[in-house]
Amino acid sequence: MHSLRSWAARTLIGVGIAGALGTGAQALAADYDGSPQVAEFVEEMTRDYGFASEQLVSLFAEVERKQAILDAISRPAEKVKPWKEYRPIFITDKRIAQGVEFWSKNQAALEKAEAEYGVPPQFIVAIIGVETFYGGNTGSWRVMDALSTLAFDYPPRAPFFRKELREFLLLTREEQVDPITLKGSYAGAMGLPQFMPSSFRAYAVDFDGDGHINIWSNPTDAIGSVASYFKRHGWQAGGQVASRVEASGARVDEGLTQGLDPVKSVAELRALGWNSQDKLAEDLPVTAFRLEGAQGDEYWFGLPNFYTITRYNRSVMYAMAVNQLAELLVEARGNR
């Protein structure tokens, strides 16, 4: 993955810093020196997961609290862009061209992923393209700094990020890498597919069989991990993602899905004025939504595989961007 110090090496460093420390609470240094929360966390990890306190003392001595992360996560959410403004962010000639190149370079891994998990290459490539521009922007924050800052200094979501910090330490021990060197987003999402640590431990795979899972710089592992995630979240091999709908009548708005979970069937929605352009099972539950497109309102059914994409990011527009980028990647490859 990287040329990293192992946890074993860090133990020796910890002894040098902390000496023969009991729980490690008194010797936490740097930005978290004396923090009761960090001391409690160290004790938990030592008691429940078998970490040596010296290791964690050494690690937290290097961790930095990042005010910029707190500013970013506390910033009021931007006004949600309509589809006609959201789509051009992700559907660009450059993203399509680089996606075709990424596909060509990693064709063997993509074909293997489809064979094992049933996920076609274009959707894996599109996810990585939307998330990190095929690895070009995987994040520049040290994951330890990001997760620690949010776990100990951002009360609104502290329990979530404390859990992710715990998962991160476990995964670095399992993979035998030094946690202080790994980088990601300001929220702690990692690698080409931007997995949070809990997702890494649950779904990431050693797809090239080298004994380590490396989603930071190994496209093969990243590809297999995205496919694994999709399969575990219900991806149906050969299934369609979305279906364009003609919607009319006074009851159309009654069909709009609140949230993302499909609650009405194709037949129920047809009775409300929603008519798909595709032949779909009458009893199929779908997500019914309207987008403000460049040419006016668009009505769509999100099918089971659409719902799977929303498990990656809980957004209708995100899932549509992934789906349409995937379609355009197939088209671009066919025109080469």
Evaluate whether 72 touches 141 at the Cβ level (below 8 Å): no
DSSP state for residue 79 in the 8-state scheme: P
Cβ count near 83 (within 10 Å):
19
- For residues 302 and 319, the answer to whether their CB atoms sit within 8 Å is yes
Provide CB contacts within 8 A for 167, sequence distance 6+.
196, 197, 198, 200, 201
**188 in Cβ contact with 146 (< 8 Å):** yes
131 has catalytic annotation: yes
Dist. CA 164–CA 197, nearest whole Å? 6
**Largest Cα span, the chain:** 76
**Separation of alpha carbons 60 and 76, rounded Å:** 30
Three-state secondary-structure class, residue 289: strand
272 vs 145, 261, 267, 268, 298, CA distance in Å?
A: 51, 18, 9, 7, 16
Nearest of 151, 153, 171 to residue 161 by alpha carbon: 151
Question: Which residue among 62, 131, 164, 167 is the active-site one?
Answer: 131
Q: Tell me if 277 sits within 8 A of 259, measured CB to CB.
A: no
Which residues partner with 275 through β-bridges? 246
Location of structure tokens 């690895």 = 135
Positions marked active-site: 131
